[in-house]
Amino acid sequence: MAFYQYSWTILFAPLLSFVVIIFGTRMWDLASRSRMAAGNGAIHVYDDAHALDHNTHGDDHADPGSDDDDDPQVPRLTTGARLSGYVAVVIMLLACIYSWLLLLDSTGALRISGYTLPYSGIDIFNYSWASASYLAPYEIRFHVDHLALAMMVVVTSVSLLVYFYSQGYMENSAGYARFFSYLSLFTFSMLVIVFAANFLVIFIGWELVGLSSYLLIGYWINKRAKPDEDRPQPATAAMQAFIVNRIGDVGFIIGIMILFWKTGTYNFAALSGTGPQSVQAHFAGNSALLTVAMILIFCGAIGKSAQVPLQIWLPNAMEGPTPVSALIHAATMVAAGVYMVARTFPLFVASGTTAFEVVAWIGAITALYAALVALTQTDFKRVLAYSTISQLGYMFVGLGVAGFYNPQGLGPGPGMFHLFTHAFFKALLFLGAGSVIHNLHHATHKEVQDMRKMGGLAAFMPITALTFLVATMTISGFPFFAGFYSKDTIIGLCLQSGSIALYVITLGTAGLTAFYMFRAYIVAFGGKGGKAFGLWGSREIYRGEGTPPESPLTMTIPLVLLAIASIFAGYWFGLFNYLSPTAHNISLNDLVSDPFTWLGVVVAAVGFACAWWLYGFVGLARVHDVVENNALLRFLHRLTNRKFYLDDLYYWLTKYIFLGIAHIAAAFDFSIIDGIVNGVAFAVTGLGKGLRHTETGKVQSYMYGIFGGIAALAIVVFVLMAFAQGGVKLW
Amino acid sequence: MDLIHPTLTHFLVLGAVLFGIGLYGALAKRNAIAILMGIEIMLNAVNITLVAFSFYNTVKPYSTFLTGQIFAIFIITVAAAEAAVALAMIISIYRKRSTVDVGEINLMKW
């Protein structure tokens, strides 16, 4: 019991490292730099904002400060900066070990505490924030149960590996200590969501991850937009992510308010209760309102998990550093929406099937849309961003289908299972992409993310290529990799539920996934003329400049560890039953003996074969020519490459509709509101200008005023008194 | 012949007439010293009224007090001080502007 009670230390560990870095090592770092500058008598202020000549370092940046992910300004890290990284990594390592021990203990794989964590979980922290006699108290309450433990392991493990990786990736970047403080703040915020025991706390965590996401997307504060690559400025992308998330959060908080209004409590445990205290009882006769509330709550997940129609921010969020993309915008934060739906699963069940159908359909549409868009993206990280959106769509399909088809028998298992496996392989994909970008930067001194400038990279960086290949096979659902189990479970579930449309969409998306992921892999790491029929690269087919090296050990170790996790994370077959006491586990036998599973594999294999044929044998240049010379193909290519013009539509809406309304409102404010205020002031001024002429300066005229006034008052008083006495009696 | 015994009304009428005369002087005269004299007449009209009210008061215990008379003495004192200040100002203005015509003195305006 105590073993679980102390799990709040995991929650506060990243907060501790945040505080230590912000107030300790970073301060020391900044202080030691200025001492160094003073000692040398030269101006060497290595600050976050730097503007020194890059050309002396062989860099050909268009303009200084436009590209500061690898900054020759900071030749080596100071001790204080390095220490910041060590603090974050060591604290996270301890937290990670503790969370794994908790998970293993709670599954029964490892008996440490001798205590069986009940399915309802235990409260680990409770602080009454505010209370009013007639309302339930507002509690900062943290809670640990099986669902939280499963998610916590994902968060701490991926965080640890990303922290470790960032030591290599960010070594030349300005603001190294700041980066680790933001990462720590993010992990803390994410764990707040994981441990939240009521809607209030989950909403606080929800906004905190939004904040840290904003800080980390906009981390490179001096970087400019790259219009020729269709890439926005990081600061703009951060703003967009923040604002789009707020749109979803409006729905989220309204949903929370409806629930609180009807039930008078925020607590998940109380809301999931049965009998007269159940949600159905509170919403008796008004179940449509409960459905509306749950759909509104799901709106928060749509924003946070970048589902259609709020998907636009996630690809732009790729302007942040790649470890950030891996941790926040692939593995954990964007999965918070899925976790939140899994957390409120009993409420969704109580609201009936409509909300689940909305969840499933939003997920399916998103999965298909993002996969189609990913087909033609040329930016390495954007392919991965769209694949993240697509896979998050799968998770929502898993949750939704399980919910409306068989909530008792499945629980949130399918969605959470895919979340669990996806976190590892998607983090691996992003870290692999980061490794490529990092090494290409060393070779070309430019930030290369365009896959057309890569090719054959496997010959230069075999570890990165191999681990990326593993992740690609996993996400494509190759048999016996993690993605195979989690994704084919969801696809099979769609078929079992009888919703053929969902089945066709998810199955087709699986084929598309295999295609675009292998397209990305082959275009970047292999290519026509490479070894193994284009699957493995060679030095001759590299289309860029210079000779990229392999990444340092700080970067390859996390890659290898994640590759192992990407294969074996799918073997936790007990997850369904672990999460929900009534759920049946997946059976490997059933899965393997089901012909439809193999249909999914065949579809994925077709996608893989197409990608291999097109990019391994036909070649990128030839494919490009064919597409450009065929009107239909060109149209389709443009359609998906421009994201079905959804981004342009939003841009248009923002520019003409929202800004139009804003202009009208501003005009109303300026003319009517300010007009009233200024008009009153103007009238008073004018009146004063007129009246001041009565001030003659002559003392006798004032005297006339005084005595005339007294006389007038006297007459008035006299007349009034006369009337009060009922008539004029002068004498 | 019988002396006419003055009543309160007589004094009040006297006070009112004097006040009116003083007010006319203060308002109509252009000479600052004449205005000052008008003001003095008004003050003395008020003094008469106060003393008369006090003298003819029959309401106990107020009739035993000399409130009105004391008021009048205060007013005479203040009037003396006021006259001194006002005359000093008039002399000062005369030195500056060579006139005591209040129509000419109009600095206190916008």
Query: How many percent of chain A have pLDDT more than 70?
Result: 93
List the single residue in B26, B106, B110 with the smallest CB-CB distance to A698: B106
**pLDDT score at A66:** 43
Contact A583, A409 (CB under 8 A): yes
Q: Which chain B residue lies closest to A707 (C-alpha atoms)?
A: B23
pLDDT band per the 50, 70, 90 thresholds, residue A252: very high
Comparing C-alpha atoms, which of A569, A554, A312 is closest to residue A434? Answer: A554
Contacts of A697 in chain B (CB under 8 A): 105-109
List the single residue in A693, A697, A700 with the smallest CB-CB distance to B27: A700
pLDDT at A593 over 70: yes
More confident residue, A693 or A165: A165
Element (H, E) at A58: none
Euclidean distance between the first and the last CA atom of chain B, given in angstroms as a whole number: 63
Q: Which chain A residue lies closest to B26 (C-alpha atoms)?
A: A700
Whole-model pTM: value is: 0.81
At position A443, the amino acid (one-letter code) is: A
d(CA A639, CA A633) in angstroms, rounded, equals 10
**pLDDT score at A410:** 85
Question: Residue A516 — φ and ψ, nearest 5°?
Answer: -70, -30
d(CA A503, CA A496) in angstroms, rounded, equals 9
DSSP result, A282-293: HTTT-HHHHHHH
Query: Which ranges of A108-198 does DSSP label H, i.e. alpha helix?
Result: 146-169, 176-195
B8-97 — its CATH code? Answer: 1.10.287.3510
Other Cβ atoms closer than 10 A to A129: 11
pLDDT band per the 50, 70, 90 thresholds, residue A369: very high
pLDDT band per the 50, 70, 90 thresholds, residue A171: confident
Across chain A, mean pLDDT equals 87
d(CA A632, CA A612) in angstroms, rounded, equals 22
pLDDT digits (tens, 9 = 90+) for A519-553: 999 999 988 888 888 888 888 888 888 889 999 99
**pLDDT score at A39:** 43
Q: What 3-state DSSP class applies to A81?
A: helix
Looking at the complex, report in whole angstroms how far the Cα of residue B88 sits from the nearest Cα belonging to chain A.
Answer: 17
DSSP A584: P
Contact A107, A116 (CB under 8 A): no
pLDDT digits (tens, 9 = 90+) for A87-106: 999 999 999 999 999 999 99
pLDDT band per the 50, 70, 90 thresholds, residue A58: very low
Q: What 3-state DSSP class applies to A221?
A: coil
Distant-in-sequence, close-in-space partners of A456: CB < 8 Å, separation ≥ 6: A525, A526, A527, A530, A537, A538, A539, A540, A541, A542, A543
Q: B106–A707: do the CB atoms touch at under 8 Å?
A: no
At position A20, the amino acid (one-letter code) is: V
Looking at the complex, report in whole angstroms how far the Cα of residue A653 sits from the nearest Cα belonging to chain B.
Answer: 57
d(CA A359, CA A365) in angstroms, rounded, equals 10
pLDDT at B64 over 70: yes
d(CA A281, CA A684) in angstroms, rounded, equals 62
pLDDT at A644 over 70: yes
List the single residue in B26, B27, B109 with the smallest CB-CB distance to A696: B109
d(CA A71, CA A46) in angstroms, rounded, equals 10
Other Cβ atoms closer than 10 A to A611: 24
Other Cβ atoms closer than 10 A to A664: 10
What is the total residue count of chain A? 731
Q: Is A366 left (phi over 0), alpha (psi -120 to 50) or beta?
A: alpha
DSSP A398: H
Comparing C-alpha atoms, which of A492, A476, A504, A491 is closest to residue A606? Answer: A476
**pLDDT score at A341:** 93
Q: B103–A699: do the CB atoms touch at under 8 Å?
A: no
Which of B19, B36, B46, B109 is the best substitution to test chain A (most A C-beta atoms within 10 A)?
Answer: B109
Contacts of B103 in chain A (CB under 8 A): 698, 700
At position A39, the amino acid (one-letter code) is: G
pLDDT digits (tens, 9 = 90+) for A199-250: 999 999 999 999 999 999 999 888 888 888 889 999 999 999 999 999 999 9
Alpha-carbon torsion A324, A330, A334, A335, what sign?
A: negative
Supply A716's token pair. Answer: 């008035």
pLDDT band per the 50, 70, 90 thresholds, residue B90: very high
Residue recorded with tokens 């303009």? A63
